[in-house]
A = this chain, B = another copy of it.
Amino acid sequence: MEVVSEARSHGGRQLVCRHASAATACEMTFSLYLPPQADAGAVPLVTYLSGLTCTHANVTDKGEYRAACAELGLAFLAPDTSPRGEGIADEDGWDIGLGAGFYVDATQQPWSANYRMWRYVTDELPSLVAAEFPLDMARQAITGHSMGGHGALTVALHQPDRFRSVSAFAPIVAPAQVPWGEKAFSRYLGPDRASWRAHDAVALIKDGARVPELLVDVGDADPFLERELKPELLEPACADAGIALTLRRQPGYDHSYYFISTFMADHLRWHAERLR
């Protein structure tokens, strides 16, 4: 692993790192913020999964998480959203291929050669950062935006013991039912829709996966709300499952980092209470 850049920020260290990934068979870049408290010992880790078209850099530049992380003593990990580089499969459109890994392990050619973001974010990257940095991996939280909100929900539903808390910003809650997810899952996972359920938060909950509670913010001016995000589908699923869902429709907010950064500190405070 190579540290590409390091800068002092809000009393801590904002790192950008690169490493050869076995999961995706290419070089991957991630960012990690270590709060000042990490100088004295291991700190809890919040993993943030980004949305379509993003790299690690979008939330690192625009997420406004560092002040709250420094205050609360939280590390903040931001992976890339897909494999990258020469020879990686791609297709026209920003909602498939590069920047659009959807946090699954692709089973279909040509995607399966590199698009194994599930094992990257659930196994390889956590193992790497746990070995390299002062992180308390017994105290983890996960969150994400849009495609990354889908990632955060599905990862937490599969690994409820690993995460003390999960939240999301404008997540795609039922990718198997919406155009973005249908496009991605049909390419990455193939035509058998039964195989998609393991990567669909609403289907996972209906099939018995559980977390104690969920915090979800969506903007009511989000242009993707009705067609792609469908947060209302979480409400009956969580009610039936006994999952305490806090779903907040934020008036006037869109799908951008202006929305995410507004509520980032709220989410981090909510996670910090559960990571104590």
A195 at the interface (CB under 8 A from B): no
Interface flags, A29-72, vs B, CB<8A=1, else 0: 00000000000000000000000000000000110101100000
A237 at the interface (CB under 8 A from B): no
A219 at the interface (CB under 8 A from B): yes
A258 at the interface (CB under 8 A from B): yes
How many chain copies?
A: 2
CB distance from A31 to the nearest CB of B (A): 11
Bound-state Cα–Cα, A67 to B68, Å: 12
Closest to A58 in B: B61
Given contacts A61-B62, A62-B61, A62-B62, contact A221 B8 (CB under 8 A): yes
User: Interface stretch among A105-113, A117-125, A248-256?
Assistant: A248-256
> Which range holds the interface residue count of chain A?
20 to 34
CB distance from A114 to the nearest CB of B (A): 30
Would A9 and B258 count as touching, CB distance under 8 A?
Answer: yes
Question: Which of chain B's residues have a CB closer than 8 A to the CB of A265?
Answer: 67
Would B258 and A14 count as touching, CB distance under 8 A?
Answer: yes
A262 at the interface (CB under 8 A from B): yes
A188 at the interface (CB under 8 A from B): no
Write the residues of chain A forming the contact surface with B, with a CB cutoff of 8 angstroms.
7-11, 14, 61-62, 64, 66-67, 219, 221, 251-254, 256-259, 261-262, 265
